[in-house]
Structure 1
Amino acid sequence: MYFLMNISQISAFQAVMTSASLSDAAKKLGRTQPAVSAAIKTLEDQLGLQLFDRQGRKLVPVPEAHYLLTEADAILSQLSRVRQTMRSLVDGQTGNLSVAAMPGPVSVLFPRFIATQIKGDAGITVSILARSSNQIAELARAQNIDFGFADAPQNTEAQTLYDAEFIAADCFLATPADHPLAARDVVSLSDLDDEPMGCLQANHAHQQDLQDMFRARDLTFRTMVESQTFLPILQFVSAGQCCAILDPLTVVHVKTAGAMTEHIQVRPLAEKIRYRYAIIAPRYRPASVLANKMRDAWRQEVMTLLSDVGSDPRMET
């Protein structure tokens, strides 16, 4: 029978049942007394049942009205919960968030940011995936994540199913703390000629750019160790076995690591070597308020972190 009733009628009925008088019910609802009386009369007509005996100005509920009150309480309580949930969704205080980040940021910086943003809110559940940059792009193309953080994609033709925002910033040189170059204020690529280096894998855009820059200056880039990310390479730098030209977020990680900085020095480079990151979002997956809020906050967080280390971050197209 509930499909015959509207919320206004149910609210009026509940107010009359839980108030001392019709006028008290009207005040509780912020409505006029005739409007409440009309709502009750219409409800009775639709139900085909008299809910109250009229005794002068008093409305005395019949036994069936007490049953209806139990149902009305349940309906209005559920409606209140729905309203609260929707308000939380609008405010980005509840919901599900599915995100991905490349190795490196996903180890400390990215989850630390997410944890700070949700502030232990029990209304938010988070899924954080650690994936390579190519895998993050694939997840975005499949519309399977809310957003991801990765190296800037090299294949621009594949970006028809996702949108990407690009952030570029200056790279730095990491040297062992006792290395002669650690005493320099600024290091040039010529200082790294034939120096043992830790680097990303040969097919990575950053490594290809470095190789091109060394060749253009007739310098030798001598690979001592290569890895998918810079974090393992830092162990070799810390052990005094090589230097490495790091992306700036790895520099943030080094400075955050504390104990490792006792064995590693970070120096600016004379040549401007830009590293490009991307915040990737599926184009055809509707973004929740929570996802938009987190993505915007992460963009600002990245810009702040990069600015703090003096890497001159800029948004690019």
Structure 2
Amino acid sequence: MHRLNEDISSRKLEALVAYLDHKTLNAAADALNTSAVSVHRALHSLEDSVRCSLFRHEGRGLVPTEAAHTLAGVARDVLGRLDRGIEATRIAAGYASDRLKIGSLYSLTSHVLPELIKSMNQRRPNLQCELILGKSRHELLPRLKQGQIDAVFAEILPGDSDLVSLPMFEDESYFAAPLSSPLAAHETIVLSEHVGEKLVTLAEGPFSAVHLAERFKDFHPCVIMEVQDIFTQMNLVSSGVACAVVPGRIRPMYQHLVRFIPFAESEGASQTIGLSVMKARERDPNLLALSSVARIFVRERESRAPRI
């Protein structure tokens, strides 16, 4: 096994990357919370360790050579891998990271995710939440299982033994029609009575043309467009371009622009929306905090629901 020169430390590699990123010793020192003298010393020591010239002297400045850029590229990769490895080690040991990567469907960003992230910030102010959006659970779950994200808010389906899921609410589907459409006057809708209706669908997921054809076998719309995200879809509906079948969770954002018509009871379909995490990580302190916030959200949502 090749042994790395013990004089090449992560601190020296950080100094090199910082200098190339920030261009001056003072700016690099500020980024590393150290002094310009320390950065200068680290760069010269790194040159001695790799046994080649990394900089040309022009006056009082240091101009990086091609060798410096090559080493900096390697350093970024090494430091990134080391950072991820330390994070994974802490997680394996039961210590929470200071970052939480949350995957979510686009449609949940209108009101659900902002509430949850605000609650997480109040509960853990030093935790940095990063939101990663996806078109469907089929896009997000592989990333969860590969460790690229920590938790997913999306549709919950039974049968995945690798996951622990917390149901949060049942989301009914609606037929979205432009306010100018004659369909906007309907109290309920039976899709089989509107064969040939112009429709705009999502390209992926349960509201794509393929999945809608499976759910509503007697409905044969004229699909005029497939789009990548639900906001583009709803903007097209509100502009009068076509109708759409959409999840009810999008209603708060567009109810003043679009008529959301419930399906007749025989056609109605719902999704269970909730939080999913890997079973191997369910005791992670950050994920426990996120689960607690999600449960509070469920209780508050239920308390606001009208009593029948």
TM bin (shorter chain): 0.5 to 0.7
State the distance in 1 between where 2:302 and 2:259 align: 17
Task: After TM superposition, give the deviation of residue 107 of structure 1 in Å.
Answer: 5.7
Q: CA deviation at 1:223?
A: 0.7
Pairing 1:274–2:270 present: yes
1:105 equivalenced with 2:108 (yes/no): yes
Cα distance between partner residues in 2 of 1:265 and 1:244: 11
Query: What's the RMSD between the two structures over aligned residues?
Result: 3.4
Shift of 1:233: 0.7
Give the one of 176, 184, 202 matched to 2:178: 176
CA distance in 1, matches of 2:284, 2:245: 38
Q: State the Cα distance separating 1:114 from its structure 2 match.
A: 0.7
Residue 237 of structure 2 contacts residue 243 of structure 2 at CA under 8 Å; is this kept in 1? yes
- CA shift digits 1:252-300 (9 cap, x unpaired): 3324xxxxx2x31112111212234342101212533442232243355
Equivalent residues in 2 for 1:274-293, closer than 5 Å: 274-293=270-289
Give the conservation status (yes or no) of the 8 Å contact 2:110–2:253: no
In structure 2, the CA distance between the partners of 1:252 and 1:98, relative to structure 1 (3 Å rule), is: same
Code of the aligned partner of 2:188: V
Which has the larger Rg? 1
- Summarize deviations over 1:32-72 as a string: whole Å, max 9, x none: xxxxxxxxxxxxxxxxxxxxxxxxxxxxxxxxxxxxxxxxx
Which of residues 144, 147, 153 is equivalent to 2:151? Answer: 147
Once the two structures are superposed, what CA deviation does each residue of 1:128-169 show, in whole Å capped at 9, x if it has no partner? 222342342123212443321123469x5xx34333345543
> 1:113·1:298 contact (CA, 8 Å) conserved in 2?
yes
Give the corresponding residue for 1:138. 142
Letter in 1 for 2:252: V
The amino acid of 2:230's aligned partner reads F
**Per the alignment, do residues 240 and 193 of structure 1 end up closer, same or farther by CA in structure 2, a change over 3 Å counting?**
same
* Residue 129 of structure 2 is aligned to residue 129 of structure 1: no
1:245: Cα distance to partner?
1.2
Mapped pair 1:115 → 2:86: no
Give 1:304 shift. Answer: 6.2
Question: In the TM superposition, what is the alpha-carbon distance from 1:196 to its structure 2 partner?
Answer: 0.4
1:294-316, Cα deviation, whole Å (9 max, x unpaired): 22433553686699799xxxxxx
Matched ranges for 1:238-257 at <5 A: 238-255=238-255
Distance 2:176 2:99 in 1: 39
Q: TM-score, normalised by structure 1?
A: 0.55
Counterpart CA distance in 1 for 2:100 and 2:154 is: 17
TM alignment of 1:38-57, pairs within 5 A: none
Alignment of 1:160-175 (within 5 A): 160-166=161-167, 168-175=170-177
TM-score, length basis structure 2: 0.56
* Structure 2 CA distance for partners of 1:268 and 1:254, relative to 1, 3 Å: same
The corresponding residue for 2:61 is none
The alignment covers a number of residue pairs equal to 207
For structure 2, the residue ranges without an aligned partner over 5 or more in a row are 1-95
Q: Could you tell me how far apart the structure 2 residues matched to 1:246 and 1:186 are?
A: 15
Look up the match of 1:264: 258
SS of match in other structure, 1:175: strand
In structure 1, distance between residues paired with 2:111 and 2:242? 24
Please give the per-residue CA displacement for 1:69-118, whole angstroms capped at 9, x wherever unaligned: xxxxxxxxxxxxxxxxxxxxxxx9x9543321122223653134312442
Counterparts of 1:307 and 1:273 in 2: how far apart (Å)?
A: 24
- Secondary structure, in 3 states, of the residue corresponding to 1:199? strand
Rounded to whole Å, the distance in 2 between the matches of 1:267 and 1:140 is 34
Partner of 2:214: 212
